[in-house]
Amino acid sequence: MTDIFQFTRALVDIESTTNHEAAVGEFLFETLSPLGERFSGQVERLTVEADRFNVFAHWGEPLVTLSTHMDTVPPFFPSREDSEFIWGRGSADAKGIIASMTGAAEALLDSGVRNFGLLFVVGEERNSAGAYAAARNPRGSRFLINGEPTENKLALASKGILRYEIEASGRLAHSAYPELGESAIDKLLDALERVRRIGLPEDALLGASTLNIGVISGGRAPNVIPDEALAEISIRLVGDPAPVREAMLHAVGDRAELREILCIPAITFDSVDGLDTAIVAYTTDVPAFGGAWGKPLLLGPGNIHVAHTNQERISKKELLAASEIYQQMVKKLLAGA
């Protein structure tokens, strides 16, 4: 049987920041292949782009699919453990979830359950490339159990995301003679000041939209008037993106170029009897699947508050509990299918 703790650590110790998932994908393919052979299933690499691929394993007709993502945010740091937690990049988001799902799959197969699958995708942390690719290649799944850190509670709603790049252009000059140049950084700062004053929508269920200026870059040297500057921004959506788009266009105006990079809507989910529920403020792959892999449900071990931090960790108790919950969900959904 899969040792969920050991498997989590093995996955964490393979660096797989977004766009560099090939090594962890190969590890999963090689790890799941014997499980496919042992229980007359099939394990596949599903091409996304170049050397990036999703991993899909299924036994019988995959009416229920357990899915999460292989990629992580930077920076990478390896695993360690203590009596309570497994630590390391991706331990909570979402490699511990992969381990719990795989453990659940093996236990289900040992008990004679079939007609379900595992789908592990690339690119969730950046643009959901793997989920969009999977949506173009559905396999008949009627239910998609998506794994993200919810502390093993079933999410009733999750926020969307609207991502922008704001790029300003200027003219190079010696900084001793600023009148001969045009500062792209000044233009960008002016635009960002107005962006930060935007009034964002609120929702009774999801709460307030939030805005994060995540990356700022630009300039050549401290004694050079900068000719270029760039900011990357994400807005957590709670409803219709149209008024936010209009506000962004008005705020940036002609100070810089505004480019929309990604828009994933907020989404609501149905409840399942017997499971605790939660509302989450983050965005998932679920909207990118577009229903192509069935009715979505969102649940996983781990606390989102430590994900993306240098204190990322996951509770061992939650990992084991998640494996049991996934088994129960698959059985219940198969009975209803």
Spot the catalytic one: 81, 106, 124, 125.
124
Local structure of residue 248 (DSSP, 8 states) = H
- CA 148 distance to own-chain centroid: 8
For CA atoms 50, 307, 310, 103, the dihedral sign is: negative
Q: Which residues, 6 or more positions from 183, have their beta carbon under 8 angstroms from its beta carbon?
A: 170, 225, 226
Rounded (5°) CA angle 109-110-111: 90
Q: What is the full DSSP assignment across 187-237?
A: HHHHHHHHHTT----EETTTEE-EEEEEEEEE-S-TTEE-SEEEEEEEEEE
Q: Which helix (H) or strand (E) holds 96?
A: helix 96-110
Contact predicate 301/78, CB 8 Å: no
- Exposure of 205 in the CB half-sphere (CA atoms within 13 A): 16
Local structure of residue 179 (DSSP, 8 states) = G
260 is catalytic: no
Q: How, if at all, do strands 143-146 and 202-203 pair? A: unpaired
Distance CA 91, CA 111 (A): 28
Rounded (5°) CA angle 96-102-107: 130
Radius of gyration of the chain (CA): 22
Q: Which residues are catalytic?
A: 124
